[in-house]
Every structure is written in C-alpha cells, then in structure tokens.
Amino acid sequence: MEIKKVGVIGCGLMGSGITQVSAQCGYDVVVCEADQELLDKGLKKIDSFLTKGIERGKMTEEQKKATLDKITGTVKLVDLKDCDLIIEAIIENIDIKKQVFKELDGLCRPEVIFGSNTSSISIIDMASATSRPDKFLGLHFFNPVPIMKLVEIVRSIVTSDETYNTAKAFCESLGKQIITAKDTPGFIVNLLLIPYLLDGVRAYESGVATREDIDAGMKLGCNMPMGPLELLDFVGVDTTLFIADVMYDEFRDPKYAAPPLLRKMVLAGFHGRKSGKGFYDYGK
C-alpha cells in the first residue's frame, strides 16, 4: 500500500516531531491532540523548530511554509479516518493507548496501518485491542525526532511482512535509519538506556556527587552528548518513570526498578524541561 496521508495522535515532544518530519518529507499529516490549547502548543513547537532551522541556514521560508501547509491539526480522532498510516504518540500508559486504538479501529478502513511510538509497551497487547493485529507495529522514533537518525521498528508475533515493509519504506523516506526489534519491553535501545538513566538517579540520590558532576562525568569522560540527569529532563521524568514501571512489571529485575526520587519528582510535577523543572531548573 502507498502511504500518502499520515495521522499522528498526540502533539507533545514526540508527536510534534513525527508530524514535522512527515510533513517536511512531503506527506499530508493530520495531527490530533486532546484539546485545542494543547494542539496550539504542539503546533507552536513545530513552528519554532522550523524558524530556528531557518536561522541556522538549514531551511528556507518557502520550505517552512510548504511544511506547515501539509499539516492539519484537529481535536477529533474521526478526522484521522482517511489516513493510510496512523502513528500514536500519547502518554506511556497501556490502558489509555488501548482505548485510543480501539476507537480508531472502528473509524479507519481495514487496510490502514497502526503504529505506536511506545518506548516499552507490548505491541501485541495494544494490537489485541483492534481487529487488525497483522497491520500493527511499533515505530519507535527518538527525541528530538527531526535530528535523531534512528527508528526502531518493532514487530509483534503477528505483524505481517507487508505491514513491516510498508512501514520500513515510509520511515526510510523520512531519511531515518531502521533497526528491527522483537516485541519485548524496551526493545533494543531502552533495554540498555533505561537502567543507565536509573543508575544516574541512584548515584545522585545516594550522594555520590552533585548532579552537575554526574552529568559532566558522562559527557566529558564518555563523550555522551548529555549526562544521564540532563537526558532524563530532556526525555521527561514522567515518561522515564512510566517506561521503568512497564519494564519492571515485565522483568521483575531490580535494574528496572524506579528509584524513589524519580517517583517523588513526578508526584511533585517535576517532569523535566517540558514542565520547566526536573533535575535542573529551566525557568518559564
């Protein structure tokens, strides 16, 4: 099947990036948010990323306009019904994701492919909420989507070859490099990344060093672009907690157990950069 029109659910950190990159690569995109205020906020994020791109000489005013012209925002799931591929990028919560996919399944043509940008949740579990589990797969983009080159494609035990090949061709058309993983919590990257991030919190919590020194250690000592606490703020402290909980639930391995500080921070609303405060302060 040829993908012409793409639906994206959620216009937060990831959904806004997936929407932008798809539109930049010539696809018509309909992006759905929970309400108008959140939609406006998400669309503004896309606008300002593109503006910064112009300032950096990476794109022209005309290219920015052409990209924005390809994007339609909505707060109604039904407006995604004519899309050929729908990528979900909402909160990392199995019940909420399944509810959205169940509703979507009733709205879309049977041949439409459903992809989830989940970081950790079982693909077959979400697919089971639909009547098209063979047309369901994980499409795991990385943050920030317009810059990071990777998409991890996750096949469940029933994802068809046709679905996989169509989704792979779509991701490659966005200029992304593909790796393929089995449907196991955290797939490839988060299986390795999440214990590292949690160890960063444990080091901070137990007083090994200041947050600045922990981050500087990994940046200057291991050439990482961000230290673990900076990266946690960048990914979202809330999202990292949700991912860790999914992985701990499945593996029961202490390396995936969220440190108490992470849970306390989420309860306090310290969700990282997006909320203005996490391990560091970002002001307004």
Q: Which one of 2, 56, 95, 161 is in contact with ligand CAA (CB under 6 A)?
A: 56
- 223 catalytic? Reply is no
Name the residue nearer to ligand NAD (CB basis): 84 or 245: 245
Query: Which of the stretches 24-32, 46-54, 102-110, 170-178 binds ligand CAA when contact is defined by CB under 6 A?
Result: 46-54
> Which residues on adjacent β-strands are paired with residue 74?
32
225 near ligand CAA, rule: CB under 6 A: yes
Q: Sheet containing 5-9: which strands, arranged edge to edge?
A: 71-74, 28-32, 5-9, 85-88, 113-116, 136-141, 150-155, 177-182
- 143 catalytic? Reply is no
52 near ligand CAA, rule: CB under 6 A: yes
In the chain the first and final C-alpha atoms are separated, in Å, by 45
- 190 catalytic? Reply is yes
235 near ligand NAD, rule: CB under 6 A: yes
49 near ligand CAA, rule: CB under 6 A: yes
Give dist(CA 86, CA 195) in Å, integer. 30
Listed residue (259, 246, 160) closest to 206, CA to CA: 259
Give dist(CA 87, CA 121) in Å, integer. 15
Give dist(CA 75, CA 6) in Å, integer. 16
Name the residue nearer to ligand NAD (CB basis): 91 or 178: 91
Which residues are known to be catalytic? 119, 140, 152, 190
Q: Which residues bind ligand NAD (CB under 6 A)?
A: 9-15, 32-34, 38, 89-92, 100, 117-119, 140, 142-143, 235-236, 239, 243, 274
